[in-house]
Amino acid sequence: MNYILKDENALYYECGYSSDNALYLKCGSEAFFITDSRYTVEAEEKVTQAEVITSPNLIKTVRKLMKKAKIKKLSFDPKEWSVGAFEALSAKSGILFRQKPDFSHKKRIIKHDHELEILATAAKLGRKAFQRLEQEIDTHGFGEDEYRLTYTAKSILSDFGRYELSFDPIVAINANAAKPHALPTDTRLQKGGLLLVDAGLKYKRYCSDRTRTVYAGKHFQFRTRQHFTKRKIQKAYDTVLKAHDHAIHKARSGMRAKKVDALTRDLIEKAGFGKYFVHSTGHGVGLDIHEMPYISSRSETIIEDGMVYTIEPGIYIPGAFGIRIEDMVAMVDGKAAVL
């Protein structure tokens, strides 16, 4: 199969290296990693199973390689290309370009054993970072606003620069937590408040992802058992936790992803919070923080052993509070195992 890749994580998956200016071309049994001279030395050290070619004009070089190989058909992911770049690649080439949306994500949906080990390590490092963040907030976090707490979370999650982050952490207090992708505000953390933290780090380029919602009381902990003083918040929290645990316990290989989604959604709807669960139950995690499989009410994907995804039900009451509990799971021997 002939194909071309542009996305950095897609390149890394194929040959163990990527840069912000590179293309990967597969022509039958031959593979080429084309980049510019800034990355030649590193590419030649790290690229595997592909010939490294240095070029000041990547697309021009790819066109020459395709012509030399007499390629007639080439697959590509349209999500990776701008209109201008694709026109430069394909114009007057005589090649039939076949659109393959999510081409690399589909190749990566089943994780190999070594990938599962890396993802498990990433998740464990993320858990330890949450424990350090817990101690920092308990000691110094009360009275600080979301901007400062977000900065603290970034510093601790990255181990002060040792690890890249999977994404910018979400640190939301009280009503701001009702926004699933909340941005920081000047709201300050006070005793008796609610705090939601969604964060992750990368280990060997693979992501982790975790969310905890806590009662900011005397014994501040990112544990899943929480006790809130307000009855409505407690009911919502207990509902989310029940949905989270139920989906992890009942998910099976062979299910459609929409069935896994229903494991959380049905419980939340029965508790009367259905309209406040405004996103899907989860998403795949790997080299990208969001990849296949998507655990949504519309997804027909069959869950298989080797897939890694999040379980993250939530309830969001606008202007009041939001709750989300999230863990990464891997399908192992037909069941979901928390990483």
**Integer CA distances (angstroms), 172 to 86, 179, 195, 279, in order:** 40, 8, 6, 17
Decide: 313 and 281 in contact? Cβ < 8 Å: yes
The three-state secondary structure class of 279 is: coil
Mean pLDDT, rounded, of the chain:
97
User: What span, in angstroms and rounded, lies between the C-alpha atoms of 166 and 162?
Assistant: 13
pLDDT of residue 218: 85
User: What span, in angstroms and rounded, lies between the C-alpha atoms of 250 and 37?
Assistant: 52
Q: Is the pLDDT of residue 136 over 90?
A: yes
Q: Is the pLDDT of residue 249 over 90?
A: yes
Predicted confidence band at 274 (pLDDT cuts at 50, 70, 90)?
very high
pLDDT of residue 157: 97
Indicate the DSSP class of residue 138: I
User: What span, in angstroms and rounded, lies between the C-alpha atoms of 126 and 208?
Assistant: 6
Alpha carbon 320 to its chain centroid, in Å, reads: 27
The three-state secondary structure class of 120 is: helix
Q: Is the pLDDT of residue 219 over 90?
A: no
For residues 195-219, average pLDDT: 96
AA letter at 292: M
273, two tokens: 């919070």
Predicted confidence band at 80 (pLDDT cuts at 50, 70, 90)?
very high
Q: Is the pLDDT of residue 148 over 90?
A: yes
- CATH numbers and ranges of domains, the chain: 3-108 (3.40.350.10), 113-338 (3.90.230.10)
For residues 291-301, average pLDDT: 98
For residues 12-25, average pLDDT: 98
Torsion of CA 25, 26, 32, 35, to 10 degrees: 20
Q: Is the pLDDT of residue 313 over 90?
A: yes
Residue 43 phi, psi dihedral angles, 5° rounding: -65, -45
pLDDT of residue 188: 98
The total number of residues shown for the chain amounts to: 339
For residues 218-239, average pLDDT: 95
- Give the number of other CB atoms < 10 A from CB of residue 122: 26
**Integer CA distances (angstroms), 321 to 17, 46, 170, 225, 267, in order:** 43, 48, 14, 18, 19
For residues 124-141, average pLDDT: 97
Radius of gyration of the chain (CA): 23
User: What span, in angstroms and rounded, lies between the C-alpha atoms of 256 and 85?
Assistant: 37
User: For residue range 159-204, what is the model confidence (pLDDT) as tens digits?
Assistant: 999 999 999 999 999 999 999 999 999 999 999 999 999 999 999 9
Peptide bond into 293 cis (omega under 30): yes
Predicted confidence band at 242 (pLDDT cuts at 50, 70, 90)?
very high
AA letter at 125: L
Instruction: Check: pTM over 0.85? Answer yes or no.
Output: yes
